[in-house]
Structure 1
Amino acid sequence: MTQHGLEQHWDLVVVGAGPAGSAAALGALHQRPGARVLLLDRADFPRDKVCGDGVAPHALDVLETVGVTGLLDDWPVAPRLRISVVGAPGVPVVEEAMSRPAQVVPRAVLDERILRAATDRGAVLRRARVRDVLQDGAGVGVVLSDGELVRARVVVGADGAHSEVRRALGPAAVPPQKRGTTAIAVRAYAPVLPEHDGVQVLAFSTDTDRPSYAWSFPVGDGRANVGFGQLVDSRSSAGQTPTRARLLERLEELLPGTTAGAEQVAGHPLPLSTGRSGVWSVGRVLLAGDAASLVNPVTGEGIYYAVLSGVLAGRAALGGGRYDRMLGEALVGHLRHTDLAARLVRSDRLLHAALRASARDTGVFDDVADIGLARGRLTRRVVTGMGRALLAG
């Protein structure tokens, strides 16, 4: 992708050109066409990124609000979702067609397409590493690794779980991730098993602290994105992060055959959201996506959050409202429900009841799926269905 010349003063500088960062550029340019927007990223695009690759249609809905339509029209959908608890006798394997099918798009494809949409609208992309972020009365200065200073009215930190922008703000302004709210996942690409073709498969375990699960998501080209993720709790007796090899073993134990021919094996941490709204802005610096710990605590999904928070950050940066307020109105209620859902899946009894209720009522199934994929809540239908399942049990 062609890079453009660099100016020294910008309306907005976005650190990180993934979905959150490129969405921020799109939000800003939709708010004020012709604004001077600079995207900084340390990688050349297209590039791989460790992820489950699931893209909920809700993320595409958000992009449509800033004029990006048809982004994935040429990509196949994975219309069905299968959820099970391996090793739990009497608990049904639930499989249904999703009310709004999701797609499984490798990040090398998805991120490049959203970035291209941003640069087509006038954002400037530059490959660079960020060393520091400084605020003063005149705005924000971004110090690059070579010592160059780039100034902006507002900076959006969308540089992921290891955010340099977040680090530069300091622990006093942005507290570190709360203990017990970080997950680790391993991801690979492997030939899709015939029984998994067209189906997004989630397999919970009975012998690993949840939230944790194995997955197989068909990409649509004969491969599947496969992986296993679990919580990392510093209070555990081992006190060690699970190795990549062990995570792959857990994947194979829960979904036999999925690791055969696996390639592009990589691991990545996930800073999970909690039921409380986090620190999303400090002065003229806004945080979006993983840098703001916006990751679903049940499923580890983050694309919808990244796109939503990015668009809102970009709008706010160009005078379109207060970022914390807009993001809070969009997500806080949902985050509280996902926090409760994460507690729910730790209980065998409650998780089993949720699956039995989903097997009996497709409406419950759709609501449960929405909690994990996008902006859903524990609806009255879900709670009632689980209550009936518990009584029947």
Structure 2
Amino acid sequence: MDDNQPTAAVLGGSVSGLAAATGLLRIEEFDRVTVYERQEYDDKRVDCGEAINDTTLIPLPKTPENGFVNDIDGFQIRVYDGTDRPLDAPPLAKSNVCCESGYICERPVVERRWAAELEARGVEFRTGRSVSPTDYADIVNSYDYVVDASGQPSLTLKANGNASEYTGDMVALNATVEGDFSAYRNRPRIFFEGYVGYAWAFPKSDGHANVGIGWAGDRRPADYFAALETAAERNAFPVPDRADVNIATIPRGPSLGPDRVCDPEAKVFLVGDAAGIANRYQGEGICQGIRSAYLLTELIADGNESAYPRKLYELMRSEYRLARLMRGAWVEHEDIDLLAAVTEALEGLTIDDVTRRPATVMRRVAGRPATALELISDAGMIRRVYESYTDSWEYTSRGGP
């Protein structure tokens, strides 16, 4: 070991942490990269986030052996008039969106194979033990750089007494079930049903799928498990066994101000969920987390890591903006027919269009003048448009980083 070469610790060995280790490994000057992960990769891990929209971000061959089990064409969005409907009720609207590089994955396999590849290239993994506050302090003092990919609330927030700043906006339940999914294996389904959130069925093969439901906002069911079961019944996918169901709280994105995203003096940087990176409209965080980790390591390679909060905001700004507007289509109007009209306008767009390109979506909606006029006729929606394009909604003070 050369004492003049920098070292780095990555806290958390899920996708964002693995991406950070991948990026750090590309920096020739680094002498040592160590990943701290509380679980063992051979054990069962969290069964969520298994629809990965841009698998080009993951440096593995896209094979079933690496966990990429279903190469999809895209997704079908279905809008219904509510949860209290006949089982055979047709959707108010359907829309097919494209996803050229998307896969439904066995995420534990993806992470296990990715970690094995990194270990073979010299990354050290310390697994099977949580990082305590004392451990955290020792790690920060022992390494030149620390990348916190530990999720939310992050180890850094806990260590600094700021864990209460975490804002978990979306509760999601999911499980893997067996059934007949052959009719829509190549185009998994997303169900909007009159609440802020959605249900889904993401086939991994003709015979099994990841299914679930998530909620955002203030209106939550009294019994989450019962709500998942009834969603399964009305949307015609198998009811999961309660023992197999995972529960996750997803950051609303962003939940942290720029002063919490990094500590330049201590060289501690937060990525992925730890930094509050998630799509506030549909909860997606896998690709966002990976992109944030690659951005950070590119800045470290250039000696410009102090720019990370600003660059991270620039990377995510369009996505935050569009999510704010799309969520407003329901929150401000609570008009399921309007949501159906907006959904139909998305037909044929890509997932990246729908999540990251406000101008593309707005052009589509503008092509339906009656829908566009109804959307902007509400004072709350006008406020959202103003706030989105002045960035005054982003943090408590105008302008963001």
TM-score computed with the length of structure 2 as normaliser: 0.76
Matches within 5 A, 1:49-60: 49-57=46-54, 60=55
Matches within 5 A, 1:301-380: 301-322=284-305, 323-347=308-332, 352-353=337-338, 355-359=340-344, 362=347, 365-366=348-349, 369-370=351-352, 375-379=356-360, 380=362
1:249 matched residue in structure 2: 229
Pick closer, same or farther for the CA change 1:256–1:220 going to 2, 3 Å. closer
Kindly indicate which of the two structures has a greater share of residues assigned to helix.
2
Task: For residue 43 of structure 1, report the CA deviation from its aligned partner.
Answer: 0.4
Q: How far apart in 2 are the matches of 1:153 and 1:244?
A: 44
1:264 matched residue in structure 2: 244
Q: How far apart in 2 are the matches of 1:321 and 1:250?
A: 51
Pick closer, same or farther for the CA change 1:114–1:247 going to 2, 3 Å. farther
Q: How far apart in 1 are the matches of 2:199 and 2:169?
A: 17
Contact preservation (8 Å) 1:276, 1:332: no
Pick closer, same or farther for the CA change 1:224–1:36 going to 2, 3 Å. same
The partner residue of 1:154 within 137, 145, 148 is: 145
Pick closer, same or farther for the CA change 1:386–1:39 going to 2, 3 Å. farther
Task: For residue 168 of structure 1, report the CA deviation from its aligned partner.
Answer: 1.1
1:297 matched residue in structure 2: 280
2:262 matched residue in structure 1: 281
1:224 matched residue in structure 2: 209
Q: Is the partner of 1:23 in helix, strand or coil? A: helix
1:132 matched residue in structure 2: 133
Kindly indicate which of the two structures has a greater share of residues assigned to strand.
1
Q: How far apart in 1 are the matches of 2:62 and 2:29?
A: 20
Partner AA of 2:56 in structure 1 = D
1:3 matched residue in structure 2: none
Q: How far apart in 1 are the matches of 2:91 and 2:135?
A: 54
Q: Is the partner of 1:184 in helix, strand or coil? A: strand
Q: How far apart in 1 are the matches of 2:132 and 2:6?
A: 18
Q: CA RMSD in A?
A: 3.4
Pick closer, same or farther for the CA change 1:190–1:273 going to 2, 3 Å. same
Q: How far apart in 2 are the matches of 1:329 and 1:23?
A: 19
Aligned residues: 354
The partner residue of 2:32 within 10, 33, 36 is: 36
Pick closer, same or farther for the CA change 1:307–1:265 going to 2, 3 Å. same
**1:318-349 CA distance string (max 9 Å, x none):** 55532223322221232222222222232456
**1:233-271 CA distance string (max 9 Å, x none):** 4xx7xxx88544233234225413431668721111111
Task: For residue 121 of structure 1, report the CA deviation from its aligned partner.
Answer: 2.7
Q: How far apart in 2 are the matches of 1:349 and 1:264?
A: 33
- The higher-RCO structure (CA 8 Å, 6+ apart) is 1
Contact preservation (8 Å) 2:273, 2:285: yes
Mapped pair 1:112 → 2:112: yes
- Gap runs ≥5 in structure 2: 83-88, 376-401
Contact preservation (8 Å) 2:261, 2:270: yes
1:11 matched residue in structure 2: 7
Contact preservation (8 Å) 1:189, 1:262: no
TM-score computed with the length of structure 1 as normaliser: 0.77
Contact preservation (8 Å) 2:7, 2:30: no
1:93 matched residue in structure 2: 93
Pick closer, same or farther for the CA change 1:371–1:25 going to 2, 3 Å. same
The partner residue of 1:177 within 138, 151, 166 is: 166
Q: How far apart in 1 are the matches of 2:134 and 2:367?
A: 50
Contact preservation (8 Å) 1:79, 1:98: yes
Contact preservation (8 Å) 1:104, 1:217: yes
1:146 matched residue in structure 2: none
